Chain A
Amino acid sequence: MTGLILKDLLILRKTLRSYLLFLVVYAGIAFSGVWSADIVGVLMVVVVMMLPMNVFAYDKQCQWDTYGLALPVGRTKTVAARYLCVLLLCLGGIALTAVTGAALYAVGRIEDPAEFMVSCAVMGLMAVLMNAIMLPFLYKFGPERARMMFYGVLGLLVLAGALFLFPLGGMEWLNSLSEPNLEQVTAIPFIAAVAGLILLALSFLLSRHFYGSKDV
């Protein structure tokens, strides 16, 4: 299974380098004070969402699935390897965002580290959530069709969020919420981590089901 995780990371090598460069540029902009430090977290979510799509597209390009299933790994472990790779990418993204946040705090660009930590945890959870939704689509429909469907699902989620917030007063209601206390701030990353793992586990079961019956 480690071989398959390594394979995914190796084919993403170049892409990761490019995204890392993006991160440096965006962090630089955040350092200069033009944009808020939260931009780094948003970029991380987008990048971690794009990477698995790239892996599926690269695999399809070289028809890896046919070869992959001829290896002594099995379908369940093949899917598990992909999920572990995604989890590693999410953790890597969160770690990079946290390191960038620490650097920004050190130069005084972040005033409230607790708020950034909460933001980092929420962004991490978002990255996991996006992948948890997207991966079963990728297994069921392949990269091209899944991409479009995923954007459709995202659109629906945004619409559902807007419909939920509108009767409550929209952004004004959000801004009126009280700042979390220290206890809540400490709890949020743990809750996010547990929620993320549960989401990924459920998503894995669905993907395993789709891949198990897939005719390659």
Chain B
Amino acid sequence: MTNCIEIKGLAKEYKTFTLGPIDLTVPSGSILGLIGENGAGKTTLIKSILGITNTSGGTVTLLGTDPDHAKEDVGVVMDDCFFSEYLRVKDVNSVLSRVYKGWDTGLFRDYLDKFGLAGTKNIKELSRGMRMKLSLAAALAHRPKLLLLDEATAGLDPVVRDEILDEFLAFVSDDDHAILISSHITSDLEKVADYIAYLHQGKLLMCDEKDRLLESYGRLVCAKADLDQVDKGYIVSTRKSQYSTEALIRHKNDFKRTYPRLTVEPVTLDELMVFVVKGEKA
């Protein structure tokens, strides 16, 4: 298995924020979900991968080459439609067919039909969902091998999101393809992602296979006295309120064997994020 994205020591410094250094790989045939709170650096990371923003250090290899040479095979969807409201849907075809060598007008029209988008419509008449579908059609019509998606499903209703997630799954059914998708909608990532990378304050806190991540962490809900008895090596962070005590624990299966009396519930990506950001470190 080769890697579609290889990032080594990528860093970007702003006056008040530093991203990285980040080491990350996305194997071909997989979807990597990038999670993190607002301002964690997800968009900066995606822009740095594409070479849109200047970086302070590190290297990025896309599809075995440098980002500038790989762009022909990379499709991008950001959190909003970047096509001017003064354009019509079919203008996107006229413009991008002259930009991408591999642009397939027929495929673009197929996507428009599939998504129920009329070519003659003005972009300003499209709803947010329709604009995102147009962005996705534009990202796919040049037959890319890699998709970089920044909050591409944000603000969409569950039906549209489901349709788009199906497209992502169909895309990675080809073993040469891969997707990096950042999203706050962690349920979407739980549905489609193979790997999860968690970015917090510019640093990569976790990066692992999604199933292994969800399998190895758990949420312990117990009395404070019980928590005090637990080996601190298991506890990642805790959240205490007047009525309950919760802890994010690692090595869930070991923990269950060691403390069979305590109940450990599966943890969601949302809970994982909340524990890491808002919980007290053990």
Report A's interface with B, CB cutoff 8 A: 2-4, 6-7, 10-14, 58-59, 61-64, 66-74, 213, 215-216
Residue B78 at the chain A interface, CB threshold 8 Å: yes
Q: Which residue of B lies closest to A70 (CB)?
A: B76
List, in ascending order, chain B residues with CB within 8 A of A66's CB.
47, 52, 78, 82
Separation of A11 and B86 alpha carbons in the complex (Å): 5
Interface residues of B in 85-106 (CB under 8 A from A): 85-87, 91, 94-101
Separation of A12 and B84 alpha carbons in the complex (Å): 10
Contact A6 B98 (CB under 8 A): yes
The smallest C-beta distance from B91 to any residue of chain A, in angstroms, reads 5
* One of A10, A62, A73 near B81 (C-beta < 8 A): A62
Report B's interface with A, CB cutoff 8 A: 47, 50-54, 68, 71-72, 74, 76, 78, 80-87, 91, 94-101, 148
Contact A10 B86 (CB under 8 A): yes
List, in ascending order, chain B residues with CB within 8 A of A215's CB.
53-54
* One of B52, B54, B71, B98 near A3 (C-beta < 8 A): B98
Q: Which residue of A lies closest to B92 (CB)?
A: A7
Separation of A74 and B67 alpha carbons in the complex (Å): 11
* One of B50, B53, B68, B101 near A74 (C-beta < 8 A): B68
* One of A4, A13, A69 near B52 (C-beta < 8 A): A69
Contact B95 A62 (CB under 8 A): no
Q: Which residue of A lies closest to B75 (CB)?
A: A70
Separation of A62 and B206 alpha carbons in the complex (Å): 33
Separation of A2 and B95 alpha carbons in the complex (Å): 8
List, in ascending order, chain A residues with CB within 8 A of B52's CB.
66, 69-70, 216
Contact A70 B54 (CB under 8 A): no
The smallest C-beta distance from B2 to any residue of chain A, in angstroms, reads 21
The smallest C-beta distance from A75 to any residue of chain B, in angstroms, reads 10
List, in ascending order, chain A residues with CB within 8 A of B100's CB.
71-72
Q: Which residue of B lies closest to A15 (CB)?
A: B86
Contact A62 B83 (CB under 8 A): yes
Known pairs A70-B76, A71-B99, A72-B99; A216 contacts B82 (CB<8 A): no
Contact A70 B50 (CB under 8 A): yes
| Residue among B47, B80, B82 with the highest chain A CB neighbour number at 10 A | B82
Q: Which residue of A lies closest to B44 (CB)?
A: A215
Separation of A104 and B144 alpha carbons in the complex (Å): 55
List, in ascending order, chain A residues with CB within 8 A of B94's CB.
3, 6, 10
Contact B78 A10 (CB under 8 A): no
Separation of A132 and B71 alpha carbons in the complex (Å): 31
The smallest C-beta distance from A126 to any residue of chain B, in angstroms, reads 27
Query: What are 9 sample pairs from A and B whose C-beta atoms fall under 8 A apart?
Result: A3-B97, A4-B99, A7-B95, A58-B84, A61-B85, A62-B84, A70-B50, A71-B96, A216-B52
* One of A10, A61, A67 near B76 (C-beta < 8 A): A67
Given A66-B47, A66-B82, A216-B52; 19 other pairs, CB 8 A cutoff: A6-B94, A6-B95, A6-B98, A10-B91, A10-B95, A11-B84, A13-B86, A62-B80, A62-B82, A63-B80, A63-B82, A64-B83, A66-B52, A67-B82, A70-B52, A70-B76, A71-B71, A72-B68, A215-B54
Q: Which residue of A lies closest to B99 (CB)?
A: A3
List, in ascending order, chain A residues with CB within 8 A of B84's CB.
7, 11, 58-59, 61-62, 64
Q: Which residue of B lies closest to A7 (CB)?
A: B95
The smallest C-beta distance from A157 to any residue of chain B, in angstroms, reads 32
List, in ascending order, chain B residues with CB within 8 A of A11's CB.
84, 86-87
* One of A64, A68, A71, A213 near B54 (C-beta < 8 A): A213
Contact A58 B86 (CB under 8 A): yes
The smallest C-beta distance from B174 to any residue of chain A, in angstroms, reads 20
The smallest C-beta distance from A139 to any residue of chain B, in angstroms, reads 16
List, in ascending order, chain B residues with CB within 8 A of A59's CB.
84
Separation of A63 and B79 alpha carbons in the complex (Å): 11
List, in ascending order, chain B residues with CB within 8 A of A2's CB.
98
Q: Which residue of A lies closest to B94 (CB)?
A: A6
